[in-house]
Structure 1
Amino acid sequence: MIKLGNEAEIVIAHKLMQEAFEEYRFLEVPSSAINEPVDSLRNSFRNGSEKFILCYIDGNPLGSLRFKTKGQTLYFSRVSVPPYARGRGIAKSMLSWLEDYTKKEGIHKLQCKVRSSLTHNVLLYQSIGYTVTEEEMVTNPDKFPVSIVVMEKLLEQ
């Protein structure tokens, strides 16, 4: 079951993100998700700037992602599936749910940013119809430069 998260579930989404991004702790530039406090999610949820979804299987939360609307684009981030839950299609299921949600909201473009060096993530998005539209160098919240690609998917109207 995939559903919009509520305020009581913020700690669950944060825990899933921490577990999923732990493997990026020892990259040359570690993921800023590792140091992101739960209050960051709570504040963006409370002020309405960001929503999140959770994927439950047999009552267990095994995936989450965050999203927000920017004009006519739905931007998502922090797609989180911990290592022990991978290989079940959870990320693809969440992204499919997000596409349906996006269409219902009258939005027809999804976008995310992916580290260029994480080719398996880039390939995952490409396998479900996303294309690289830009390459850029950004400064992450921990003030480190990171090479990323912007990926987009246009939905049929």
Structure 2
Amino acid sequence: MKIVSAKATDAPTLHNLMIQAFSVYKDEIPPSSALEETVHSITHALEGGERALICTMKEEPVGMVRFQLYENEVYFYRLSVLPEKQGQGLAKKLLGSLESYALEQGKNVIRCKVRMTVQKNIQLYRSIGYHIYDEETISKPNGLSVPVVSMMKKL
């Protein structure tokens, strides 16, 4: 297994991994906005300062995480592992690499937001040291609301 930094030219790979991983949420109300993203929007984000890590096994992409660097912290989102590779610790390895990268960049906090309905992700993050520090309801443009928790880990 190898984890490397992504480039803007990796946007098609990132998009493919994300769509496969987030397809389980297509019937959620509302569906995840990840499913509305395009290769173009991801390319644009990467060219605008967003960063990402890609995890490969035997040269094949199996997971990724996108993130932003801020003054003292890293905010990650769209953590994606291919459905058939979930449960093998790849998400934890991606987040471990992200933590190492954050420390190399002088950041001491990592944050994310998680839908309250996705308890398995909340439990995953708790199992590696994250805790909930806030709850809110995000209003979507279509008028629907999504209850989320904000989680963080101090490095």
Q: Is the TM-score greater than 0.5?
A: yes
Q: What is the letter of the counterpart of residue 31 of structure 2?
A: P
The gaps in structure 2 that reach 5 residues or longer are: none
Q: Does structure 2 conserve the Cα–Cα contact (< 8 Å) formed by 1:32 and 1:141?
A: no
Distance 1:144 1:38, change over 3 A: farther
Q: Offset of 1:63 from its aligned partner?
A: 0.1
State the match for 1:20 in structure 2: 21
TM-score (norm 2): 0.95
Equivalent position of 2:59 in the other structure:
59
TM-superposed CA distance for 1:27, in Å, is 1.0
- Residue 135 (structure 2) pairs with residue 135 (structure 1): yes
CA RMSD of aligned residues (A): 1.2
Alignment of 1:138-157 (within 5 A): 138-140=138-140, 144-155=144-155
> Equivalent residue for 1:9?
10
Residue of structure 2 in register with 1:112 after alignment: 112
Moved runs in structure 1, 4+ residues, more than 3 A?
140-144
Partner of 2:30: 29
2:45 partner letter: S
| Partner amino acid, structure 1, of 2:11 | I
Deviations 1:98-119 (A, max 9, x none): 0000000000000000000100
Deviation at 1:15, TM superposition (A): 0.3
CA deviation profile, 1:77-106 (whole Å, cap 9, x unmatched) = 000012111121110000000000000000
- Length-normalised TM-score, structure 1: 0.94
- The yes-or-no answer on 1:124 pairing with 2:136 is no
Over residues 28-58 of structure 1, what are the superposed CA-to-partner deviations in whole Å (9 max), with x where a residue is unaligned? Answer: 211111111121111111122x111100011
Q: Percent identity?
A: 36
Residue 39, structure 1, aligned to residue 46, structure 2: no
Contact 2:109–2:152 (8 Å) recurs in 1: yes
Contact 1:114 1:121 in 2 (8 A): yes
In structure 2, how many angstroms separate the alpha carbons of the residues matched to 1:134 and 1:65? 22
Deviation at 1:71, TM superposition (A): 2.2
Q: State the number of aligned residues.
A: 154
